[in-house]
Amino acid sequence: MGKGSEGDLKMRHLASTRSPDEYTALIDNLKDFIDSEVIPRENLSAAHDGAEVRRTAQELNALALARGLGAPRTRREDGGMALTWTECCAYLEQAGRSFLGPLALRCAPPTQPDVFALESLASPIQRERYLLPLLSGERASCFAMTEPAPGVGSDPRMLATTARRTSNGWVINGHKWFISGAMRADFAIVVAKTDAGPSWFLVDMDTPGFRIVRDIPTMEPFDIGGHAEILLEECAVPAEALIGEEGKGLAHSQLRLEGARLFHCMRYIGLASRAMSIAQDYALRRESQGTKLADHQMVQAMVADAHIQLYAARHIVLDVARRLDEGESIRHHSSMAKVFVSEAVYKVADSAVQICGALGISEDIPLSMILRMLRPFRIYDGASEVHRAAIARRALHHGLTP
Ligand SMILES: Cc1cc2nc3c(=O)[nH]c(=O)nc-3n(C[C@H](O)[C@H](O)[C@H](O)COP(=O)(O)OP(=O)(O)OC[C@H]3O[C@@H](n4cnc5c(N)ncnc54)[C@H](O)[C@@H]3O)c2cc1C
């Protein structure tokens, strides 16, 4: 895949402004913040209390800013760190070691991917009303694409929600579900089809005809915005609610997803690496058959495989990040990275649980929650099977050498 092909991620390019020493100091500062402030505030018994998690995240956000730590890809003038994609790798990995780190640093989904998209697509008015309050944390967003059957899931062509043009705007009708963050969002980016094809619309949550049906319970801990089912019934929005170009909704979704996937990979490498650190500590303390677990070769194999998986995962993600920094199309590589990393981090966390035995299954330590946090990543942002099909299609029909 060369530079500038269709579906490219046309994201704002940020040149590095830090010396290697400054970057190392930044990562050390973040690591210390996560170890000394963030992980100690993870209250596992309140992991399903969204209000409590949100309160803690806000407290941590203030502490992070006081230490000069902020949103990784946001410009300095907007309160961010202005990191390159390559620089984001270690930053997001450190932030991701804690369930609360990405929330504290305002780089958690759905906000971060919505920011990626709006930075490229928002009109001046949309920037003022939606993007800037999103960056400052005054307003929260969600992204509403997925629908119950027979609507859109893995196949974007099955989009059923419609937007009908009127004399002064659009009227949207449809049914969405699994919309992350919607329970606390102020506005939604709604994907609906017009005569020109799939299109994006900004819809304030209090717009008449926009209704949250329920919060769908999922296996994920430390979730602060839920996964909502939403009905849009004759929901009227003004003409300026259209984001970007009418009919280009699928290209817009690609743009939003590619950066988001990479950020997920970086954060989840951090979480899986923490899981294995916990397991290693356990293996060095716990004995079986007169010797430490760490001395049993089958335990050693699980530890070694985890290190190999994480080493490979980090390097794949770094390579995709470097390609992004160099302005290359990452469509193919980001698919490969997503499949590899989502499966690798889950395997690592699963081995960590195995090494810790029953304690690993409990909620006394974070392992079972890490496992539950990582499992859905093999489904959202494109299921592994869908990415594999796309990778194979490109390889076979574009003659890519392996
Ligand atoms: C935790 C979580 C958060 C989410 N947040 C959001 C959100 O904020 N906004 C939003 O719009 N959506 C969100 N989603 C939905 C997510 O985008 C969809 O789950 C995803 O696109 C898959 O669609 P589906 O669930 O309908 O699966 P389906 O399309 O029903 O597919 C089910 C399974 O079938 C297989 N499959 C499907 N297609 C193919 C194929 N072509 N080839 C081979 N196998 C295939 C795969 O194994 C797949 O997992 C979220 C989902 C989860 C789990």
Give the domain-ending residue among 243, 264, 293.
243
| Gap from CA of 371 to ligand 1 centroid (Å) | 19
**Percent helix / strand / coil, the chain, rounded to 5:** 55, 15, 30
Query: Ligand 1 in contact with 376 (CB < 6 A)?
Result: yes
pTM for the model stands at: 0.94
- Residue 77, pLDDT score: 81
- Beta strands at 169-180 and 210-215: parallel, antiparallel or unpaired: unpaired
Q: Provide the domain limits for residue 192.
A: 141-243
Q: Is 340 domain-assigned?
A: yes
**291 strand-pairing partners:** 288
How many Å apart are CA 95 and CA 124, to the nearest integer? Answer: 31
Q: Does ligand 1 lie within 6 Å of residue 380's CB atom?
A: yes
Q: Is residue 123, in this structure, part of any structural domain at all?
A: no
Query: Residue of the nearest CA to atom 26 in ligand 1?
Result: 153
Q: Is 247 in the pocket of ligand 1 (CB under 6 A)?
A: no
Q: pLDDT at position 9, please?
A: 36
The H or E element spanning position 199 is strand 197-204
Look at residues 226, 243, 260 and tell me which one is the last residue of a structural domain.
Answer: 243
State whether the beta carbon of 390 lies less than 6 angstroms from ligand 1: no
CB of residue 110 inside a 6 A radius of ligand 1: yes
Alpha carbons 46 and 34: distance in angstroms, whole number: 19
Q: Is 379 in the pocket of ligand 1 (CB under 6 A)?
A: yes
**Residue 151: CB within 6 Å of ligand 1?**
no
Indicate if 161 and 58 belong to the same structural domain: no
Between the CA of 281 and the centroid of ligand 1 the distance, in Å, is 36
Classify residue 113: in a domain, yes or no.
no
Integer Cα distance of 210 and 228 in angstroms: 12
Cα gap 80→175, rounded to integer Å: 35
Domain count, the chain: 3
Task: Please check whether residue 320 lies inside any domain of the structure.
Answer: yes
The answer to whether residue 1 is domain-embedded is no
Distance (angstroms) between ligand 1 centre and the Cα of 37 equals 35
Please name which of 335, 342, 337 lies closest in space to residue 319, comparing C-alpha atoms: 337
Specify whether the CB–CB gap between 108 and 98 falls below 8 A.
no
The CATH number of residue 48's host domain is 1.10.540
How far CA 288 is from CA of 135, 278, 285, 292, in Å, comes to 52, 18, 10, 6
CATH code for the domain in which residue 165 is found: 2.40.110.10
Going by the DSSP 8-state scheme, the letter that residue 378 receives in this structure is G
| Nearest in space to 236 (alpha carbons), one of 163, 342, 308 | 163
Q: Is the CB of 249 under 6 A from ligand 1?
A: no
Q: For each successive 10 residues of the chain (402 residues), what is the average pLDDT?
A: 36 72 96 98 93 94 95 86 95 98 93 91 96 92 98 97 97 98 97 98 98 96 94 98 97 90 97 98 98 98 98 98 93 96 98 98 97 97 97 93 86
Asked whether residue 95 falls in the same domain as residue 167, the answer is no
Both 310 and 382 in one domain: the answer is yes
Based on the fold, state whether residues 276 and 152 are members of the same structural domain: no
75 located within any domain: yes
Q: What is the CATH number of the domain that holds 257?
A: 1.20.140.10
Q: Is residue 15 part of a domain?
A: yes
Mutate to test the pocket of ligand 1, among 161, 380, 381, 387 (most ligand atoms within 8 A of CB): 380
Do 270 and 370 belong to one domain? yes
H-helix or E-strand spanning residue 117: helix 111-121
List the residue whose alpha carbon is closest to atom 1 of ligand 1.
376
Q: Is residue 165 exposed (0-12), middle (13-18) or buried (19+ Cβ within 10 Å)?
A: middle
Q: Does ligand 1 have an atom closer than 6 angstroms to the CB of 144?
A: yes
Model pLDDT, residue 14: 66
Strands 197-204 and 162-166: unpaired
**Residue 359, ligand 1, Cβ within 6 A:** no
Residues 165 and 270 both lie in one domain: no
Distance 382 CA to ligand 1 centre (A): 6
d(CA 291, CA 306): 22
Q: What is the DSSP string of 81-112?
A: ----HHHHHHHHHHHHTSSSHHHHTT--TTHH
Q: Which atom of ligand 1 is nearest to the CA of 181?
A: 8
Q: Are residues 289 and 390 in the same domain?
A: yes
Q: Using the mean position of ligand 1's atoms as its centre, give its distance from the Cα of residue 190 in Å.
A: 17
Last residue of a domain, one of 218, 243, 268: 243
> What distance in Å separates the CA atoms of residue 255 and residue 258, rounded to the nearest whole number?
6
Is there a domain that residue 259 lies in? Answer: yes
Are 98 and 175 in a shared domain? no
179 lines ligand 1 (CB under 6 A): yes
- Predicted local confidence at residue 3, as pLDDT: 38
The reply to whether ligand 1 has any atom less than 6 angstroms from the CB of 50 is no
Pair of tokens at residue 12: 């704002």
Q: How far apart are CA 94 and CA 45, in angstroms?
A: 23
Q: Tell whether 32 and 83 lie within a shared domain.
A: yes
Residues 156 and 158: their CA atoms lie apart, in Å, by 5
Q: Are 156 and 226 in contact (CB under 8 A)?
A: no
**287 plus 342 within the same structural domain:** yes
* Whether 381 contacts 257, CB under 8 Å: yes
172 with 305, same domain: the answer is: no
User: Is residue 167 domain-shared with residue 232, that is, in the same domain?
Assistant: yes
Ligand 1 centroid, distance to 152 Cα (angstroms): 9
Given this model, what pLDDT does residue 8 score? 37
Cβ atoms < 10 Å from Cβ of 9: 22
How many residues make up the chain in this entry?
402
Ligand 1 within 6 A of 153 CB?
Answer: yes
